[in-house]
Structure 1
């Protein structure tokens, strides 16, 4: 039975799959196949709509808090260890999938029916599929999934921890928060922010200067960002204009950008028509921001830098150059893969002809 995974659901439009690097921001005057994993047969659940639950903003924030508590609790009870990138990476991967067929087998039930080693392979394929579509963002999120590429280090205990964290995240409602086909519904909260905060110790957070910003504050600051954009436009074209650049120099996991994107949508704009950038010194926070940019539908012109914006005023430009290199590498890899596939098809045709 195939999982009803839509690995490219958040990147379905052509604009979400950049064939070339994003242009420099301006002010308006302004490695595997993409086949879906197969799993052991699961009990046939009742069909249900793919849209999932609809939350109010407050309800989504409460569910995100409960999600963070559930994941942190499961990881610690399983004695998962100090590498918090593992449980955060599992939740991040789950935010990237959703039910493909509204009347097909229930995605949550299918995932829960998998064995630990099958789950690990599923996670590899989720990241690999999205790398092909958005290598710039998935490479920025590498700290969350690079452990999957060291299969010799994934022992039975690590596989068990993967299973219990996956179960905790699914039962706490991760697919309800991020599995909706409507980007407005997927963007009601930052599902990864509370997971980070609850897994990281107080001392580590203070050392990084990392503190959770309440959703009500990010919403207000998102409005402030748009107000600043409006002051840059001409008197004849008041309000945000497509192509403008929205930047957060201390972005965390992207909460301000989420709020600004939602404010744009409520004004009738598509966030994919704007340019987005952010910087954060914490690799895990920056990785989560890169994943969130996909989940929230920010579009092809997104740059996430992991740097100190005070020490390096060119952090965004440096990150953009790195993104260009990653996209070029993806294009080379995919071109080589297509050439190999074409050669194999030709060989098969020749062998068939000779046999005849």
Structure 2
């Protein structure tokens, strides 16, 4: 039984292990963020203020402004009812990193692409992330499955995608999530206000969905983890294990766990050394939580379930089993691709040899 820190409920997981970390495939493009590193032994660092160089002022306010702007453009341009499309655009760009702050402007490079290239860029971002974390990207499928429709996006859809992309970049998403340091990327939840702004008030009430603003979740995490961390980081520090489990049974897009991870970092600990699980009944919110887990660097042991916690108390275990199946599928696909590539290389060498002999 793994020790668990449940922020809100008495959820008790069984001993089913979390999905193993995915093996690292071929290196992803430079503009796509690499996944969280492999787990390492828990270590205690010296408690010190973490860097805030280059952080925009009021990141939560900036995130809220971004969400409202995206919703405004989507509705003004008659984007339609599939709000998962603009949310998916924000989510995909959360994976993009500014490799060199003094290099060519990434925003200009993205917007300089033609329509075909822009759609291909979004496909490439999601594909690269799927290779690394297929379990979480599969959970986020609702945000990117439109890119795999049988027919290419029509002119109007492409026009709206470009307009939303420009708005996202103009409102400074890369300043919020483009940092190499996950602590800086996790200063605010940019997906929650985007989802809230795009979803009608009636839909929010029907789902019972009210997302907690980042400053409030930060304060709650300080209170909830205050007594916990006093005990954990003193008397039981030597017994701290990577299996320590932090769970939210009504996670939304994961805002409370973002605050908990930031609290751990401020205490000199690495969230990647812990286990995390989130459950939400809303598929889009659960998809956002999966993306956020990668953006915020929660590490390789993250499980996100889309279920009603009250109706299914084993939602996390079910999600773990599904994650293992998705990872096995990824391994088969990658293995087959490697085999095909090897066969093609062999054929090429044989053709060269035959041509030389002739």
Q: Same fold (TM over 0.5)?
A: yes
Kindly state the Cα deviation for residue 237 of structure 1 after the two structures are TM-superposed. Answer: 1.9
Deviations 1:104-139 (A, max 9, x none): 322111001112221111000000000000001000
**2:301 matched to which residue of 1?**
301
Distance 1:114 1:278, change over 3 A: same
CA RMSD of aligned residues (A): 2.2
Contact 1:304 1:319 (8 Å CA) reproduced:
yes
Deviations 1:33-71 (A, max 9, x none): xxxxxxxxxxxxxxxxxx994135xx1011001101110
Matched, 1:343 2:332: no
Segments of structure 1 that go 5 or more residues without pairing to the other structure are 17-50
| Regions of 4+ moved over 4 Å | 227-235
Separation (CA, whole Å) in 2 of partners of 1:106 and 1:256: 33
CA distance in 2, matches of 1:286, 1:76: 23
Q: Is the 8 A contact 2:37 2:300 kept in 1?
A: no
Question: How far apart, CA to CA, are the structure 1 residues paired with 2:255 and 2:147?
Answer: 27
Matches of 1:225 and 1:304 in 2, distance apart?
A: 22
In the superposition, the TM-score normalised over structure 1's length comes to 0.84
Matched ranges for 1:59-138 at <5 A: 59-138=58-137
What TM-score does the superposition give when structure 2 sets the normalisation length?
A: 0.84
Q: Find out whether 1:7 has 2:8 as its counterpart.
A: no
Question: Displacement of 1:234 after TM fit?
Answer: 9.7
Query: Does structure 2 conserve the Cα–Cα contact (< 8 Å) formed by 1:230 and 1:239?
Result: no
Maintained 8 Å contact 1:190/1:255:
yes
Q: Deviations over 1:257-309 (max 9, x none)?
A: 00000000000000000000010000000000000000000000000000000
Aligned to 2:149: 150
Which residue pairs with 1:272 in the alignment? Answer: 272
Secondary structure at 2:197 match in 1: helix
Partners of 2:38 and 2:299 within 8 A in 1: no
Alpha-carbon distance in structure 2 between the residues aligned to 1:52 and 1:350: 56
Does the Cα contact within 8 Å between 1:52 and 1:176 map onto a contact in 2? no
* Cα deviation digits, residues 169-211 of structure 1 (max 9, x gap): 0000111110011111100000111100000000000000011
Q: State how many pairs are aligned.
A: 317
Structure 2 residue runs without a partner (length 5+): 1-27, 41-51
| 1:230 positional shift | 4.4
Equivalent positions of 1:186-201 (< 5 A) are: 186-201=185-200
| Native 8 Å contact 2:32 2:125 kept in 1 | yes
1:280 and 1:149, CA in 2 relative to 1: closer, same or farther beyond 3 A?
Answer: same
Contact kept in structure 1, 2:32 and 2:96, CA below 8 Å: yes
Q: What is aligned with 1:314?
A: 314
| Structure 1 position 100, deviation (Å) | 2.6
CA distance in 1, matches of 2:239, 2:257: 14
* Distance in 2 separating the partners of 1:86 and 1:240: 45
Contact map agreement 1:5 1:99 (CA 8 A) in 2? no
Question: Distance in 2 between the 1:113 and 1:76 partners?
Answer: 24
